[in-house]
Structure 1
Amino acid sequence: MATTQAARPFHRVLVANRGEIAVRVLRAAHDADLTGIAIYAEQDRDSLFVSLADEAYSLNGSSAKDTYLNIDRILDIAKQCHAEAIHPGYGFLSESDEFAQRVIDAGLVWIGPSPQAIATLGNKVAARHIATLVGAPLAPGTVDPVTSVEEIEDFARTAGMPIAIKAAFGGGGKGLKIAHRFDEIPEAFESATREAIASFGRGECFVEKYLDHPRHVETQCLADMYGDVTIISTRDCSLQRRNQKLVEEAPAPFLSDEQHRLLVESSKALLHEAGYVGAGTCEFLLSTDGTISFLEVNTRLQVEHTVSEEVTGIDLVCEQFRIAAGGHVPDTDATAHGHAFEFRINAEDPAHDFMPQTGTITRYHEPGGPGVRVDSGVEEGDSVAPAFDSLLAKLVVTGPTRAVALARARRALAEYTIDGITTVLPFHRAIVNEPAFIGSEQGFSVYTRWIENDFANTLKSPDDATVQLAQPAKQSTELHTAIIELNGRRVSLRFPEGFLDNAITSGMQTVASAASPAPTRYRQQSANNSGGPAALAHNPGDVLAPMGGTVVKESVHVSDVVHEGDSLLVIESMKMEQIVRAPHAGTVTAMLVKFGDTFATGQPLLTIK
C-alpha cells in the first residue's frame, strides 16, 4: 500500500546516480549547506563526482544492475551513512515508482514526485488518458498497449504511415522506433519491446501517428505539495539522433503567442490532474502545420534543465530540495531573460552515425569567458567504458539574444578540447553555422530527424594520433595518496615518499596494496574497453564491431545464407541499440560472439564467406 510523504527538513542527501548529474546535485547540496553523499560502481571509484562528495560509499559491483539499479544496496548504504533524503538524478531509478516508494517506506525524504504520480505519468498510455481528460492536444494513437504486429498494422492502415512505436514505461528515447513502411513494423516492434525491457523492466508498447517533420518543444515545470504549478521556461530540443537529444535551447524560439499559451496551459492542467510535486517536464511535438501534440511527462529533472536555469536565474536542484522540504513554488510563472543553448558532449563519433566510443581522455580543456558554463563529469585521465551512457559533459552558453548566444557558442566550442576519445564536438561546431539551425521567422527548419535525413554530414573522424590510449602522467616525488575503503566508505590517505616501504616492513600490506599515486587521474584502460586506433587481428570475411558493447540478439547462425543488408546481430552500448548488418552476401561460417558477450570496437563478431 502506498504511503504519502510528509514535508520535513533534511541535512544529509544521498545522490543515487553518477557522472555529471551526480556532480551537479552534489554542488547544489553544498550551495544549500547540505551534506552530499555519493555512491559508486567499481569503475567510478576515482571519478570526479566521488571526489566532490562529502562522503562516498562503494556499491560493490560494476554493472548497472548490480549498482545504480540495485535498490536494496542503495537503501542499505543510506541506512549505514544515516542519509535523510535521496536525490535520484536522471536515468537509472529516477522514474521508478518502486524505488520512490521504498525510499519513503524507509523513512527517508524522496526528492521527486510521489510514487503514484511517477507510476501514472510514467505509463504513457495512462498519461494519454490524462491528456485527453484535461483537453491537451494529442496525435492519433492506440488507447491501450499493443500486443502484436497485426494490431500495429491495423492502426497504421487507419492512421497512415509513418508511425511511432513507443515503450509505455520510460523515456529518453529508449524503446522508441519509427516505421516508415509496413515491412519495417515487425523489426521495429521487436526492437522497441526489447529496449523497453532492458531499460525499464517492462516491454509494453503503444503506437502513435508520427507527425510530419515535428519539432520537439517542452515546458520546465515546478509543482509543490499545496497544488500550485509554475512554468519556468519553454525549451526546444529538436536536434536529436536515435530519438535522443543533442542540442537544447531556452526559451523555445519561433513560437506564436497562441502556441506558447497552449503549451503552458496544457502543462499546468496535466500536472494539476496528476497531483504532481517537484520538478518535471511536459513534452510536446510541434508539426510543420502548427499542430501541437502531447508527447509525455518526464517525472524527474531533465538533462537540459541548465538552459532554463540560465535564462531565469533559478537553481532547479535547490528548488527540488526546497519543495521536498515543504516549500512553495513561486506565485507566477518565471520570465526568461536572454537565450541559452546546451550542447551535450557525448563520447560518440558523428562521422560514423554517432557510434558510442570508449577510451581514455588524454587531454581535457574546458572553455571559459562570458556566458559559458560547463557541467562536466570527467577530467583528464578518465577512462570511458561502455557500461553506462555516453554523456561526458554539457556546454551551456548564454547571451542577451539568441544571436549573441550563438556567437559565444561558436567561440566556446572552438576552445573546447578533448583528446584520446572521439566526441560530438565536430558536429556541434558545424551545427552553430547551419542556416537551418541559425534560423529566422522563415528559415528555422530543424526537426527531430533532421540529423538523419537532412544534415549534410561531411564530418571526419579524428586522426589516429589524436585518439590513443592515455600515457601515465609525470608522478610527484613528494606525496602519494592511498584510497581505501572502511566498511564500504571511501577514505583518502596521503603520505610522504618512502612511507610504504616502512609500512610494508611493519606488516601493513593491506594499506600498501590499496595505494596509488596522487597527482594523476590516469586509469589503465582494459583491452575490453578499447577505444584506440589499434585494429584487432581479423581474417577476410570477418564482420567487425562498429563499437564496443554487448550482444543482445543473434539474428543468424552458422551455415545461414545472408544477403547484403540483412540483420546479423543486435548490439547494445551506452544504452543504445545498433543493428549489425551484412556488408555483403554469403554464408555465415563462424559465430565469434554469442548472446551476452561483450566485445571491443573493431573486434570480429562473425565471419561471412
Structure 2
Amino acid sequence: MPFDKILIANRGEIACRVIRTCRALGIRTVAVYSEADADAQHVRQADEAYPIGGPQPADSYLRGDVILEVARTAGAQAIHPGYGFLSENADFAEAVEAAGIAFIGPKAASMRKMGSKAGAKDLMAAAGVPVVPGYTGEDQDPARLQAEADRVGYPLMIKAAHGGGGKGMRIVRQAAEFAAALESCQREARNAFGRDRVLLERYIEQPRHIEIQVFGDAHGNVIHLGERECSAQRRYQKVLEESPSPFVSPELRERMGEAAVLAARAIDYVNAGTVEFIVAPDGGFWFMEINTRLQVEHPVTECVTGLDLVAWQLQVAAGQPLPLAQDQVRHDGHAIEVRLYAEDPDAGFLPGSGRLQRLRLPGKVRIDSGVVEGDEVTIFYDPMIAKLIVHDADRPRALARLRGALAQCAVVGPKSNIGFLERLVRHPAVVEATIDTGYLDRHLDEFTGASAEAGGDPAAETTRRVGAVVVHLLAAARAARHCNAASGDPQSPWTAGDGWRLDGPAIRHLAFEHDGGRLEVAVSGGAGRWRIALDGATHEVEGARLDDGVLSARIDGHGVRLQVLDAGARVLVHDGVARLLLQPRPLYQPPAGAAGAGADSVLAPMPGRVVVARVAAGDAVVEGQELMVIEAMKMELSLKAPRGGTVAEVRAVAGDFVEADAVLVALEKAEAA
C-alpha cells in the first residue's frame, strides 16, 4: 500500500473517483469542502472532511495554504490535486513537497517548463518532437512579426504566448489581414493575461485533436498508454472522447507514442500526463502542449487498457516504479466518453443550476459522477452532472451502447445537454469518424434548436407526442384506481375511470407545455382505447399498456414501444432515437396581457452574483437598456429592460447573491409611468 491516508484537494466527480480507488486499496481519504459543498457527495464519501472557506473557488479550493494546513491536521501523507483548481500550480506542488507531503503529480520544475507556450515549443523542438512551423521569438516588433508571418506562410494563427481558453487567438488567411489581427490579438491578450507577447504558428485546416497518455516514474521509466481522440469540440472544449482513435493507423500510433515519450523525457516527467497533438488530414502531427495532470477523459484509457490510472499515480508518487513496461501494455476494444452537463444548448449552452429533482442514469456502463438525485448543481463550479463511459468490442458496438445509455438518462430540475449528446452520437460526422476540431462550431445548427431534433421525422415526432399523452392518461387512470381502492365503496360505478357515458363518449380537453409552446389535446375513450386529437389530426390508440417503464400500444394501426423515463408531474418518453417531454398545464389560459407582471420587472434567470447595477429608483429607461449584470457559473449575463418606463425599485446591489426568478428591478406600472 503506497500511503495510509491522502487528502484530495478537489471536489465533484474527480474527488469521488479518487476516493473509489483509495477505498479499493485500503487508503483512508480526507476531503475538503467549501460552504457551497457541505452536503456534496465527495464530503459524504470520504473518511474525513474539513471546511476550507467560502463558495467562490478563490476563497476555498484555490487556497493552497489552508489545504496544506488541513493535510497537516489530518495527518495526510500525500495530496491528490485532481484536475483544475491547483492541479497545475507549480507553487502549490512545491509547497506540498516542502511540507514533507507527497504531491500526487509531476514535479514543480516540470510544470514550469510547460508554463509558457513559446518556451515549451522551443523545448520540444530541441528534443526532436515535431512542432508546428512558426515563430516564438522575443522580438515583438510588428514589422518583424509581419516578416515572420510571411515566412511561415498562410493560413496562420496568432496565439497569446501566455494564457489559454481560446483567448488571444486569431486566424489570418492572407498577409494584408495580419497587422489588424495582430493588434486585436495583442489587445485581448493584454486584457486577459496582463502580457501581450504572441507567437505565430502555421494554421492547420480541419485538424484532429489526438492526445497520448504518458506515465513516468522517479526511476527514469517513461511509457505511453495509447491515444485518445478529442476532435469533437465546441469553442475549444471537448464534448466526446474516444480510444483508440478511428483515424490513427498502427504506424502513426507508434510514431506519435514515441514522440510523446520524447516530450515527457524532455521535461523529466513523473506521474500521469497527457501530450496533446494537432493532426492534419494527411497524418502529419505536431506538438501542442503537455497537460501536467490527470485528464477528465482518462476513463476511456482505463477501459481499453484495463488499468487504474489513479492507482498508478499513487504508486509512482510513493516512489515505486511503473507497474508495466511499454511492451506489456495491452489494448482491448473501444471506449467512448461524453459529459452530461446542466446547460441549455438551445440558449448558447447557458449553464444551469438548481436541485436535481430527478436524476436517472443508466446501468451497465461506467458512470463517474459527483452528484445524486436531490443534490444541488451550484452556480459556483463547473455544471457537470456525470460522465458516461462505454466500452465494447469495437467502435460501432460502443456507439450503439452509448446511444442506449443516453436513452436511459433523465434529468429533471436544471436543463441538460442530453438531447444535444443524443444528436451528436448519431450525426454522420461522428458515426463516420470524419469530425475535426472546428466542425461543431461550423455546424452547430445541426445539433441544437428545433430544426436539429434527433430523428428529423415528423411522423416519429407525432408518434412520440401521442404516446406521451397516452402515458399521461394511463398514469392518471392508475392513480385513480389506487384512490378508488382506498375508498369506502371501490366497486361503485361512479368511481370507474373508463370514460363511459349514457349518451356517448365523453370528450376531455387537456393542455401540456412542450418545447416551450402549448399543446392542446382532445381525448375520448378509456381503458387502453382512445381517440386523441392533436395538431389538427385524430389518432386511434388501441391496446395501450404501461408496464415496467415501457409503453406498448397500437397507434393508427401499427405497434409502438416507448421507454417511459418519467410519468409523474411530467411525462418523459424515448423511442430509441429521441426523447419528448410533456408537462401538464391548466386548461384555462389567461388572455394575453391579463397578468402583465412580466413586463413590469426584471428577474434573475438563474442564481448568481450581481456584478453591477446600472440604474437606480426614479431613472427613466428605454426598452432593451442594460439594467444589471449578474455573474453565474463563470459567465456574465446582461439583464435588460423589457419595456420603456421608470424604475420603481432596485432590489439588489453589486456583490449580492440572488436566487433564480428573484425580482431584481421593478418598473412603475405602465399606466402610472
**Does residue 1:344 correspond to 2:339, yes or no?**
yes
Q: CA deviation at 1:101?
A: 0.3
**Does residue 1:32 correspond to 2:22, yes or no?**
no
Q: CA deviation at 1:213?
A: 1.5
CA-to-aligned-CA distance 1:313-335 (integer Å, 9 cap, x gap): 10000000001111212211522
Write the mapping of 1:130-529 to structure 2, written as runs, cut at 5 A. Answer: 130-144=123-137, 159-161=153-155, 163-166=157-160, 168-169=162-163, 173=165, 175=167, 177-179=169-171, 189-192=186-189, 194-196=191-193, 206-329=199-322, 330-333=324-327, 334-369=329-364, 372-439=365-432, 444-455=433-444, 456-459=446-449
Write the mapping of 1:88-99 to structure 2, written as runs, cut at 5 A. Answer: 88-99=81-92
Q: CA deviation at 1:258?
A: 3.7
Instruction: Write the letter of the residue equivalent to 1:69.
Output: L
d(CA) in 2 for partners of 1:594, 1:194: 26
Gaps of 5+ in 2: 454-511, 517-594, 667-673
Q: CA deviation at 1:208?
A: 3.5
Instruction: Write the letter of the residue equivalent to 1:574.
Output: M
Q: Check conservation: 2:630, 2:637, Cα contact below 8 A.
A: yes
Instruction: Write the letter of the residue equivalent to 1:357.
Output: G
CA-to-aligned-CA distance 1:363-406 (integer Å, 9 cap, x gap): 0111012xx10000111111112211122210000101001000
Instruction: Specify the alignment match of 1:531 in structure 2.
Output: none
d(CA) in 2 for partners of 1:80, 1:228: 34
Q: How many residue pairs were aligned?
A: 520
Instruction: Write the letter of the residue equivalent to 2:300.
Output: V
CA-to-aligned-CA distance 1:62-81 (integer Å, 9 cap, x gap): 21011000011101111111
d(CA) in 2 for partners of 1:208, 1:570: 37
Instruction: Write the letter of the residue equivalent to 2:244.
Output: P
Q: CA deviation at 1:165?
A: 2.7
Report sequence identity in percent. 37
Instruction: Write the letter of the residue equivalent to 2:443.
Output: D
Instruction: Specify the alignment match of 1:18 in structure 2.
Output: 11
Instruction: Specify the alignment match of 1:487 in structure 2.
Output: none
Q: CA deviation at 1:161?
A: 4.5
Q: CA deviation at 1:148?
A: 9.1
**Does residue 1:67 correspond to 2:66, yes or no?**
no
Secondary structure (helix, strand or coil) at the match of 1:122 reads coil
Q: Check conservation: 1:134, 1:266, Cα contact below 8 A.
A: no
d(CA) in 1 for partners of 2:425, 2:392: 14
Q: CA deviation at 1:348?
A: 1.5
- Please identify, of 253-262 and 269-278, the stretch whose mean Cα deviation from structure 2 is larger: 253-262
Gaps of 5+ in 1: 1-7, 468-534
Q: CA deviation at 1:597?
A: 7.1
Flag the 1:98–1:351 CA change in 2: closer, same or farther, 3 A.
same
CA-to-aligned-CA distance 1:72-111 (integer Å, 9 cap, x gap): 1101111111111000000000000000000000110111
Q: CA deviation at 1:418?
A: 1.3
Flag the 1:539–1:278 CA change in 2: closer, same or farther, 3 A.
same
Secondary structure (helix, strand or coil) at the match of 1:294 reads strand
Secondary structure (helix, strand or coil) at the match of 2:326 reads coil
Flag the 1:141–1:384 CA change in 2: closer, same or farther, 3 A.
farther
**Does residue 1:574 correspond to 2:633, yes or no?**
yes
Q: CA deviation at 1:551?
A: 7.5
Q: Check conservation: 2:627, 2:641, Cα contact below 8 A.
A: no
Secondary structure (helix, strand or coil) at the match of 2:57 reads coil
Q: CA deviation at 1:179?
A: 4.5
Instruction: Write the letter of the residue equivalent to 2:89.
Output: S
d(CA) in 2 for partners of 1:86, 1:233: 27
Q: Check conservation: 1:177, 1:189, Cα contact below 8 A.
A: no
Flag the 1:418–1:594 CA change in 2: closer, same or farther, 3 A.
same
CA-to-aligned-CA distance 1:543-599 (integer Å, 9 cap, x gap): x8876656889999xx9xx9x9x9999976434x56869999x9xx99999987766
Q: TM-score with structure 2 length normalisation?
A: 0.68
Q: Check conservation: 2:628, 2:640, Cα contact below 8 A.
A: no
Secondary structure (helix, strand or coil) at the match of 1:89 reads coil
Q: Computing the radius of gyration over CA atoms, which structure comes out larger, 1 or 2?
A: 2
Q: Check conservation: 1:167, 1:174, Cα contact below 8 A.
A: no
- Please identify, of 450-459 and 279-288, the stretch whose mean Cα deviation from structure 2 is larger: 450-459
Q: Check conservation: 1:146, 1:206, Cα contact below 8 A.
A: no
Instruction: Specify the alignment match of 1:120 in structure 2.
Output: 113
Q: TM-score with structure 1 length normalisation?
A: 0.74
d(CA) in 2 for partners of 1:122, 1:168: 8
Flag the 1:192–1:368 CA change in 2: closer, same or farther, 3 A.
farther
Flag the 1:253–1:32 CA change in 2: closer, same or farther, 3 A.
same
Give the strand-richer structure, 1 or 2: 2
Flag the 1:225–1:595 CA change in 2: closer, same or farther, 3 A.
farther
d(CA) in 2 for partners of 1:86, 1:306: 21
Q: Check conservation: 1:538, 1:604, Cα contact below 8 A.
A: no
Q: Check conservation: 1:240, 1:448, Cα contact below 8 A.
A: yes
Instruction: Write the letter of the residue equivalent to 2:247.
Output: F
RMSD value over aligned CA atoms? Answer: 4.4
Flag the 1:554–1:189 CA change in 2: closer, same or farther, 3 A.
farther
d(CA) in 1 for partners of 2:442, 2:612: 27
Q: CA deviation at 1:156?
A: 5.6
Q: CA deviation at 1:602?
A: 7.6
CA-to-aligned-CA distance 1:443-492 (integer Å, 9 cap, x gap): x221112111024134459997999xxxxxxxxxxxxxxxxxxxxxxxxx
Write the mapping of 1:533-544 to structure 2, written as runs, cut at 5 A. Answer: none
Q: Check conservation: 1:142, 1:207, Cα contact below 8 A.
A: yes
d(CA) in 2 for partners of 1:205, 1:384: 38
Q: Check conservation: 1:310, 1:398, Cα contact below 8 A.
A: yes
Q: Check conservation: 2:160, 2:185, Cα contact below 8 A.
A: no
d(CA) in 2 for partners of 1:32, 1:399: 27
CA-to-aligned-CA distance 1:500-529 (integer Å, 9 cap, x gap): xxxxxxxxxxxxxxxxxxxxxxxxxxxxxx
d(CA) in 1 for partners of 2:141, 2:663: 35
Secondary structure (helix, strand or coil) at the match of 1:59 reads strand
Instruction: Specify the alignment match of 2:552 in structure 1.
Output: none
Q: Check conservation: 2:34, 2:54, Cα contact below 8 A.
A: yes
d(CA) in 2 for partners of 1:184, 1:539: 42
Flag the 1:423–1:12 CA change in 2: closer, same or farther, 3 A.
same
Secondary structure (helix, strand or coil) at the match of 2:225 reads strand
CA-to-aligned-CA distance 1:174-211 (integer Å, 9 cap, x gap): 646444676666565555555557xxxx8866453432
Q: CA deviation at 1:256?
A: 2.8
* Greater RCO (Cα-Cα under 8 Å, separation 6 or more): 1
d(CA) in 1 for partners of 2:181, 2:630: 19
